[in-house]
Amino acid sequence: MEISSYKKDPQLFLSGLDSVELDKLQGGSSSELKKLVKLLQEKKIIITATYDKKIDSNPFADKVVTENEVLLKKVLAYFLPADSKNPGGQYDLQIKAGFEQLHKLINDAAAAGKTKFTLREFLAATHFSLTPDRIDDDVIGAMLDAMGSHSSKRDTLKHEVGKLTAELRTYSVIQSEISTAQQHNGTVEVGRKGVNIFDYKHYGYDSHEAFAKKDANGQYNPQYQLLKEIVIERKEAMLVSGNGDIDKIVDYEASELGITSEQYRAKLRNELSDLKSDKPVFLSARDFLTSPKKDTGALSNVHHSYKYEKDNNPLSNFATTVGDRAKPLNDKLGQKTTELNDISSRYNAVIEALNRFIQKYESVMQQILQAI
């Protein structure tokens, strides 16, 4: 049976409810129904269906709904949502929030001395709280979903931009060393005799402790994280025994330091141990370039030094090779930065729109309550 709207001719609305069993209404079995009835009774709230000549079709006698508990339950049950079948889920939380809002409305009204409502007044003021299909929840839910999606994409892009920036910055350190050698027609050392590209001074930090410090979430800065991963990968690779190519590199780098190969391997093991407690360790430009633990991948056939020569200049060729690796990385960083700026702009736009909506919604609701 179709029940008339309470907004016009509320006596027909009540008559329709009289002919329906409580358990047939959507909120008839709600666990909150008895609590609401009890609250209304405790606060001595009186709800009366009254005739309004501007709205109603025909005059009718006043009817005090709260004098008839069965009818009151049906009025409430008509709007109450059924209990959620998924306790703790989004729908369940939305229902609970609605009940909390309704309880607050009743308590605040009673505290202010307002205990008498027309049926239209009461249901108009509580309809938004009692029903799960509120447009404000739909709008806010859609906005929050959009924020969540944008936030996830933004976090992913932030991570990517951080890693790419860190890698490009290290390439800049290496290119600076190459450029200095070119200016003097000299030699750039990229092995153990060369610059330590894991030195905090290259990256604008005041100390190694500041460089290696974790943030509030227990994360390293992208620069330190990248270089630490490369240090671990390279030193562990150099400790693999029985590989002729690796043995040659170990022998050469040991000779650079003036120690035996066994002493050098012991040094590598000590450096790995130091790295666990974030102590300063050495990372050569060659190790960085040959490591696969970066976006540009591993560069093969990298020597330990490159000397200027007039003909077929090895130093110039090396500079070109490194530049060819850095350029697409720079292009990719530019693309990812543009994407990050775009998604951040969208995220901020959703927040701004949500704030405007909430402010407008609160303003409208205040006007409605003031008019009652």
Of 303, 113, 298, 90, give the one whose Cα is nearest residue 191: 303
CA distances from 51 to 58, 108, 119, 203, 360 (A): 8, 26, 10, 78, 32
Residue 84 clears pLDDT 80, i.e. is over it: no
Q: DSSP 3-state assignment of 35? A: helix
DSSP-based helix, strand, coil % in the chain, nearest 5: 65, 5, 30
HEC assignment per residue over 136-202: HHHHHHHHHHHHHHHHHHHHHHHHHHHHHHHHHHHHHHHHHHHHHHHHCCCEEECCCCCCCCCCHHH
Contact 14, 63 (CB under 8 A): yes
pLDDT at 203 over 80: yes
Residue 363 has pLDDT above 80, yes or no: no
d(CA 199, CA 173): 10
What is the percentage of the chain residues whose pLDDT exceeds 70? 90
pLDDT tens sequence across 24-42: 888 888 888 899 999 999 9
Q: Which of 179, 289, 141, 269 is nearest to 227 (CA)?
A: 289
Query: Is the pTM value of this prediction over 0.85?
Result: no
Report the SS3 class of residue 49: strand
Q: Taking the domains of the chain in order of start, what are their residue ranges?
A: 10-132, 156-337
